[in-house]
């Protein structure tokens, strides 16, 4: 019988007045079996058992997560998301079943997480408590950044060797390899990311991975497995380009290009280019996008004269700017 994989570590949990876990921050995690004796958590005076003005207590929790089993609770969910962003586990290698039910919806602010239900009153308490005594009429603003189950990655994990133009666009649980650049309009969801040096200017959906040397162009998108996307996980191989405002519902292999503005799905009808047939006026073979999913060395274009989508052979992959990705 195969032994279940485990991850563990001390986390600092934010717990609201109703006892709900709003978030957990794990500064360090390890893989393997839990030690016989727990090490000291080391959080010091960051721990406070009484409620602050947000109505939040900050308590240490030691979590052991069975990574092949469904998610049990919020601390377990946060541990798995941290493992991904810390590069201790690659996308699609952890069991994330039950993660949405385990995570609470949270008001994310510049003062940290708040519970949703009593946010208005808690916000007022923080603003009054932090108002400058020497500046009558001034108030300390509580800025709402988002209302969501997933927080920003950079508030919990800062990976080495990456550039991120807008921290709001990368969720905790994203896996970003060294050399990755996520531009301001790029987006990387949890359990998704890059497996090498990449340029991300478009959307990388949950479950999607992008191979070394590849570029997801501005406004481009890759179908994920959420919101009716099914269970098929799409990916992009190495040295491939998904052009600006293009999209795929299939996987790209190595050395592929999808021209700007073209969307290729599993059911898209595609002409397979054959130079001899074209010269002889013979109809080209037509296949579905699914038939070409994951294949290498393909250029997907739309024939501007006929409007047909075509798959043409491509010998070499794209090359990223090395200097741009030395992060």
Catalytic residues: 201
Helices (H), the chain: 74-85, 99-102, 119-130, 275-280
Q: Is 316 helix (H, G, I), strand (E, B) or coil?
A: coil
Radius of gyration (C-alpha) of the chain in whole angstroms: 24
Residue spans of beta strands (DSSP E) within 115-224: 144-148, 163-164, 174-175, 181-182, 187-188, 192-194, 199-200, 203-204, 209-210, 215-216, 221-222
With contact defined as beta carbons under 8 Å apart, do 25 and 12 qualify?
A: yes
Strand 235-236 and strand 209-210: the pairing is parallel
Q: Mention every residue, 6+ apart, whose C-beta is less than 8 A from residue 106.
A: 22, 23, 113, 114, 115, 116, 147, 148, 149, 151
Distance of CA 67 to the CA centre of its chain: 18
d(CA 315, CA 62): 52
Handedness of CA 90, 94, 99, 100 (dihedral sign): positive
Would you state the structure tokens that stand for residue 232, as one six-digit string? 């098929």
d(CA 129, CA 302): 61
Q: How far is CA 227 from CA 113, 116, 206, 251, in A?
A: 26, 24, 10, 18
> Which residue, 251, 234, 231, 238, is CA-closest to 300?
251
């Amino acid at each position: 019988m195969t032994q279940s994989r485990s991850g563990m570590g001390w986390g600092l949990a934010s717990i609201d007045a109703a006892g709900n876990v709003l978030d957990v921050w794990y500064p360090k995690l390890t893989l393997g079996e839990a030690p016989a004796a727990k090490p000291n958590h080391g959080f010091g005076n960051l721990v406070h058992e009484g409620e602050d003005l947000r109505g939040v207590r900050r308590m240490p929790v030691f979590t052991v997560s069975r990574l092949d089993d469904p998610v049990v609770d919020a601390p377990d969910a946060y541990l798995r998301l941290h493992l991904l962003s810390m590069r201790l586990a690659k996308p699609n290698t952890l069991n994330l079943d039950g993660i949405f039910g385990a995570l609470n919806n949270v008001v994310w602010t510049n003062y940290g997480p708040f519970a949703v239900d009593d946010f208005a009153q808690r916000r007022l308490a923080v603003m009054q408590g932090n108002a400058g005594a020497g500046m009558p009429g001034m108030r300390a603003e509580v800025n709402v950044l988002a209302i969501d189950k997933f927080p920003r990655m950079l508030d919990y994990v800062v990976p080495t060797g990456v550039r991120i133009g807008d921290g709001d666009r990368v969720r905790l649980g994203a896996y970003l390899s060294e050399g990755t650049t996520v531009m301001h309009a790029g987006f990387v969801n949890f359990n998704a990311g890059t497996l090498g040096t990449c340029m991300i200017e478009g959307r990388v959906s949950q479950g999607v991975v992008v191979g070394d040397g590849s570029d997801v162009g501005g406004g481009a998108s890759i179908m994920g497995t959420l919101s009716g996307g099914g269970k098929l996980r799409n990916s992009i191989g190495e040295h491939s380009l998904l052009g600006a405002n293009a999209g795929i519902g299939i996987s790209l292999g190595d050395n592929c290009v999808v021209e700007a503005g073209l969307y290729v799905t599993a059911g898209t009808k595609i002409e397979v280019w054959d130079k001899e047939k074209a010269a002889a006026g013979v109809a080209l073979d037509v296949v579905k996008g699914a038939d070409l999913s994951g294949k290498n060395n393909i250029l997907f274009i739309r024939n501007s004269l006929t409007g047909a989508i075509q798959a043409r052979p491509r010998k070499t992959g794209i090359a990223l700017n090395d200097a741009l990705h030395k992060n």
